[in-house]
């Protein structure tokens, strides 16, 4: 048995979900758009007058760059350590000593070798 035909087919026009915002309404009227452009331009000019070039709020503090670990992002207030291979700042917890040359290396520049026991070796000593 065939489906019944919809008796309202001819009466329905294609419907679409559309949102008409304030800007779309204003775009239809050229005078309204000119007012929007004037307000925007005035706001830009007023903002530039507040802080002329080279002058500004003298209360702004300059933040010094913090020494953070390149691995865990821990801020070490003591003397920062560096990887002996890539020279990246690391905390003491993220550096491992090489079992052959005894230098400190990060996880990216060292390998964990499992021979008889667990040893860390730098890339240079592993070759």
Given this model, what pLDDT does residue 38 score? 94
9 is a domain residue: no
In a domain, 108, yes or no: yes
Domain-located, residue 8: no
Kindly report, residue by residue over 40-88, the tens digit of the pLDDT: 999 998 887 776 665 555 565 656 556 777 778 776 666 778 888 898 8
The larger pLDDT score, comparing residue 54 to residue 3, is at 3
Tell if the pTM clears 0.75, that is, is over it: no
- Residue 120 falls inside a structural domain: yes
pLDDT range class, residue 19, cuts 50, 70, 90: confident
Judge whether 97 lies within some domain.
Answer: yes
Total domains in the fold of the chain: 1
What pLDDT was estimated at residue 60? 58
Q: Which domain holds residue 85?
A: 81-126
Residue 59 in any domain: the answer is no
Contacts 24+ apart (CB under 8 A), 91-97: 94/69, 94/70, 96/120
CA 95 – CA 93 distance, rounded (Å): 6
- DSSP, residue by residue, 55-75: ---TTPPPPPPP-B-TTT--B
The answer to the question of residue 92 being in a domain is yes
Write the pLDDT tens digit of every residue in 78-117. Answer: 677 888 889 888 888 888 999 999 999 988 899 999 888 8
């Amino acid at each position: 048995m065939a489906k019944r035909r919809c008796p309202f087919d001819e009466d329905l026009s294609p419907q679409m979900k559309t949102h008409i915002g304030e800007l779309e309404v204003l775009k239809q009227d050229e005078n309204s758009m000119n007012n929007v452009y004037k307000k925007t331009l005035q706001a830009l000019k007023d903002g530039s007058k507040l802080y002329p070039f080279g002058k500004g709020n003298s209360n702004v503090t300059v933040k010094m760059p913090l020494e953070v670990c390149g691995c865990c992002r821990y801020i070490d207030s003591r003397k920062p350590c560096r990887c002996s291979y890539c020279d990246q700042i690391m905390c003491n917890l993220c550096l491992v000593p090489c079992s052959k040359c005894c230098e400190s290396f990060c996880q990216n520049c060292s390998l964990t070798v499992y021979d008889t026991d667990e040893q860390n070796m730098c890339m240079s000593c592993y070759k």
